[in-house]
Amino acid sequence: MAQAVRAGELSLPQLELLKGQLEQEVDFLSSSIAQLKVVQTKYLEAKDCLGVLTKSNEGKDLLVPLTSSMYVPGKLSDVERVLVDVGTGYYVEKSTEDARDFFKRKIDFLTKQMEKIQPALQEKHAMKQAVVETMNQKIQQLTALAATQGAPTKA
pLDDT averages per 10-residue partition of the chain, 155 residues: 67 90 96 97 94 90 91 93 92 96 97 96 94 91 83 56
Q: What is the pLDDT of residue 82?
A: 94
Segment 66-77, tens digit of pLDDT: 998 999 999 999
- DSSP-derived 3-state class of residue 55: helix
What span, in angstroms and rounded, lies between the C-alpha atoms of 147 and 145? 5
What residue ranges in the chain does DSSP mark as E strands? 61-65, 71-75, 81-87, 90-95
What span, in angstroms and rounded, lies between the C-alpha atoms of 61 and 75? 4
What span, in angstroms and rounded, lies between the C-alpha atoms of 100 and 46? 9
Phi, psi of 99 (to 5 degrees): -65, -40
pTM confidence score: 0.76
Q: What is the pLDDT of residue 114?
A: 96
Q: What is the pLDDT of residue 142?
A: 85
